[in-house]
């Protein structure tokens, strides 16, 4: 009896408020103040590459697929593990949906640090030199150096299965694709296999996009990846060297045939478990080339078959990845347009109407005097071509019609009005308008269009 009393007394002494608070803090370390910052900083430091000749793969080890072939370093998943403390659970006692996004910050940091270092810093210095040289050439003072930043554009996440309290899970992040502006990253929350040789379970899937900014200037992901040592220089004779700006390119962009069905990602698959399995098979039959790296990068190229893995094959995987994220790329713009037009619909009285204006880059002549080889026509064609190939298409006057109908409007009509670009139009009533349009066109040549595509 005395022993029981002593045990109870000892237990009561341990169950003080301080000890309980300490226990609560220990089992919720992940949610303590500054814990998120520490996690991000830790994975940043662990994955930082100080020079392009540093190992391209995590910890310098070659990662192979199920066939025993090395995976291209660009598409090697970066894994981060974590658990769900009690403070991350919701009223259903599983991981709260909102907490997935703080975990995504950590997982993406590990991947982006590995592939964007030291390229971001090197490109920033190159741009400083380019800005300085341009200023000297124009006789202007040296510009102020602007910082470079990697900015998260948006995140899409779909939840498949619950994550229970204190359950261990893995976050696999990998590069899915990139275009002239954005780098697209796929992150999969996975439950580890319960036994050796078992299958992992997909818990959630997220797609994120990053953009690199130098002040207000957008830096293309390709330039950063090349400066980091991950991408070779496209061969001058290859048609594929211009494919980065072609969001709608097909296998014709290069002279290498598209792999057969099942070897890459197909556009019809959704972002679910089947997609995850397909994405992790990217480049299974391909071995990357490091032809453009210097002699210090010899160790990085010893595991790759240069003849089998070419720049064109990398480009094909990038284009297939763009097909997968096609619906996600402009989703935020479409949602905003629907919300904006929907608000107009809610505020217009029954029987009322509204008008919207969208300009088109066209050039026509009533008498046929404007020929295809005229400078104005060549300029118009070049601008429209650049817009289509860089996902900034200018002639989108027809798109608002579908959104207006979807918002609930009826009797929607599209009217095309031609504006004169001459101070001496056929209709004298349009003389003032023609004079203004002619001056506006000249200004657009020197400012708006050049800023878009240079």
The confidence score (pLDDT) of residue 219 equals 92
Using only C-alpha atoms, the chain has a radius of gyration, in whole angstroms, of 28
Kindly state the average pLDDT of the residues 208-228.
91
**H or E segment and range at residue 207:** strand 201-214
Res. 399: pLDDT tops 80: no
Res. 293: pLDDT tops 80: no
The confidence score (pLDDT) of residue 184 equals 96
- Give CA–CA dist 130/113, Å, rounded: 25
The confidence score (pLDDT) of residue 255 equals 32
**H or E segment and range at residue 446:** helix 431-446
Task: Give the orientation angle of helix 35-47 with respect to helix 100-116, to 10 degrees.
Answer: 20
The confidence score (pLDDT) of residue 101 equals 95
Could you list the beta-strand ranges (E) of 304-409.
none
DSSP-assigned letters across all residues of 139-205:
TPPPPPP--EEEEEEEEEEEE-S---TT-EEEEEEEEEEE-SS-EEEEEEEEEPPSSTTPPPEEEEE
Neighbouring residues of 262: CB distance < 8 A, sequence distance ≥ 6: none
The model's pLDDT over 402-421, given as tens digits with 9 standing for 90+, comes to 778 877 888 888 888 777 87
Res. 358: pLDDT tops 70: yes
- Give CA–CA dist 429/42, Å, rounded: 69
* 244: nearest Cα among 321, 333, 179: 179
* 189: nearest Cα among 89, 294, 276: 276
C-alpha 180: how far from chain center: 10
Domain regions of the chain by residue span? 1-32, 33-329, 336-453
- Give CA–CA dist 31/250, Å, rounded: 46
Task: Give the orientation angle of helix 399-406 with respect to helix 331-347, to 10 degrees.
Answer: 60
The confidence score (pLDDT) of residue 265 equals 30
Query: Which pLDDT band, with edges at 50, 70 and 90, does 354 fall under?
Result: confident
Q: What are the residues facing 157 on neighbouring strands?
A: 206
Mean pLDDT of the chain, nearest integer: 76
Res. 278: pLDDT tops 60: no
Q: Are the C-beta atoms of 406 and 338 separated by less than 8 Å?
A: yes
- The Cβ-side half-sphere exposure at 353, using a 13 Å CA radius, reads 6
Q: Which residue has the higher pLDDT, 23 or 217?
A: 217
Q: Are the C-beta atoms of 43 and 80 separated by less than 8 Å?
A: yes
The confidence score (pLDDT) of residue 256 equals 31
Helix (DSSP H) and strand (DSSP E) numbers for the chain: 15, 6
Res. 110: pLDDT tops 90: yes
Q: Are the C-beta atoms of 205 and 188 separated by less than 8 Å?
A: yes
Kindly state the average pLDDT of the residues 358-386.
78
Query: Which pLDDT band, with edges at 50, 70 and 90, does 353 fall under?
Result: confident
The model's pLDDT over 35-91, given as tens digits with 9 standing for 90+, comes to 999 999 999 999 888 877 777 776 656 666 556 666 778 888 899 999 999 889 999
Kindly state the average pLDDT of the residues 144-162.
92
| pTM of full prediction above 0.75 | no
- Own/partner pairs, 325-329, CB within 8 angstroms, 24+ separation: 325/176, 325/177, 325/184, 325/207, 326/267, 328/156, 328/184, 328/207, 328/209, 328/271, 329/179, 329/182, 329/209, 329/247, 329/391
Query: Which pLDDT band, with edges at 50, 70 and 90, does 196 fall under?
Result: confident
Res. 224: pLDDT tops 70: yes
The confidence score (pLDDT) of residue 376 equals 77
DSSP-assigned letters across all residues of 49-69:
-SSTTS-SSGGGPPPB-TTSP
- Give CA–CA dist 244/227, Å, rounded: 16
Fold of 33-329: Thiol Ester Dehydrase; Chain A (3.10.129)
Q: What's the chain's length in residues?
A: 454
Angle at 225 between CA 222 and CA 228, to 5 degrees: 150
Query: Which tokens is 182 given?
Result: 């954005």
Res. 279: pLDDT tops 60: no
DSSP conformation class of 349: P
The model's pLDDT over 173-192, given as tens digits with 9 standing for 90+, comes to 999 999 989 999 999 999 99
- Give CA–CA dist 101/130, Å, rounded: 37
Kindly state the average pLDDT of the residues 5-31.
70
DSSP conformation class of 246: -
The confidence score (pLDDT) of residue 80 equals 94
Q: What are the residues facing 414 on neighbouring strands?
A: none
Query: Which pLDDT band, with edges at 50, 70 and 90, does 445 fall under?
Result: low
């Amino acid at each position: 009896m005395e022993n029981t009393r002593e045990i109870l007394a000892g237990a009561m002494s341990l169950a003080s408020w301080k000890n309980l608070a300490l226990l609560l803090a220990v089992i919720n370390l992940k949610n303590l103040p500054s814990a998120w910052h520490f996690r991000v900083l830790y994975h940043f430091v662990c994955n930082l590459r100080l020079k392009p000749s540093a190992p391209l793969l995590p910890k310098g080890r070659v990662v192979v697929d199920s066939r025993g072939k090395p995976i291209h370093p660009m598409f090697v998943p970066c894994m981060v593990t974590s658990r769900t403390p009690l403070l991350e659970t919701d009223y259903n006692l599983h991981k709260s949906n909102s907490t997935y996004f703080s975990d995504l910050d950590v997982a993406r940091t590990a991947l982006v640090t590995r592939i964007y270092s030291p390229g971001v810093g090197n490109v920033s210095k190159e741009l400083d030199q380019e800005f300085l040289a341009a200023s000297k050439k124009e006789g202007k003072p040296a510009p102020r150096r602007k910082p470079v930043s990697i900015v998260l554009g948006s995140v899409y996440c779909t939840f498949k299965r619950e994550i229970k309290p204190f359950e261990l899970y893995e976050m696999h992040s990998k590069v899915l694709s990139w275009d002239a502006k954005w780098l697209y990253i796929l992150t999969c929350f996975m439950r580890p296999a319960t036994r050796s040789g078992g299958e992992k379970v997909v818990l959630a899937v997220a797609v994120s996009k990053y953009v690199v900014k130098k002040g207000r200037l957008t830096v293309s992901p390709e330039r950063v990846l090349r400066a980091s040592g991950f991408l070779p220089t496209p061969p001058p004779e290859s048609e594929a060297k211009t494919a980065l700006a072609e969001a709608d390119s097909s296998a014709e962009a290069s002279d290498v045939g598209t792999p057969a069905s099942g070897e890459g990602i197909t556009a019809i698959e959704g972002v679910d478990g089947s997609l995850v399995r397909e994405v992790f098979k990217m480049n299974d039959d391909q071995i990357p080339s490091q032809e453009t790296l210097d002699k210090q990068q010899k160790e990085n190229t010893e595991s790759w078959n240069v003849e089998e893995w070419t720049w064109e094959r990398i480009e094909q995987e990038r284009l297939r990845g763009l097909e997968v994220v096609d619906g996600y790329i402009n989703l935020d713009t479409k949602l905003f347009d629907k919300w904006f037009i929907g608000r107009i619909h809610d505020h217009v009285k029954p029987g009322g109407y509204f008008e919207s204006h969208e300009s088109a880059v066209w050039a026509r002549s009533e008498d046929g005097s404007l020929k295809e080889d005229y400078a104005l026509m060549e300029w118009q064609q070049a601008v429209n071509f650049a817009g289509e190939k860089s996902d900034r298409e200018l002639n989108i006057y027809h798109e608002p019609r579908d959104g207006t109908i979807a918002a609930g409007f009826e009797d929607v009509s599209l009217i095309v009005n031609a504006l004169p670009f001459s101070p001496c139009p056929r209709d004298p009533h349009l003389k003032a308008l023609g004079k203004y349009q002619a001056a506006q066109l000249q200004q657009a040549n020197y400012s708006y269009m050049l800023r878009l595509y240079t």
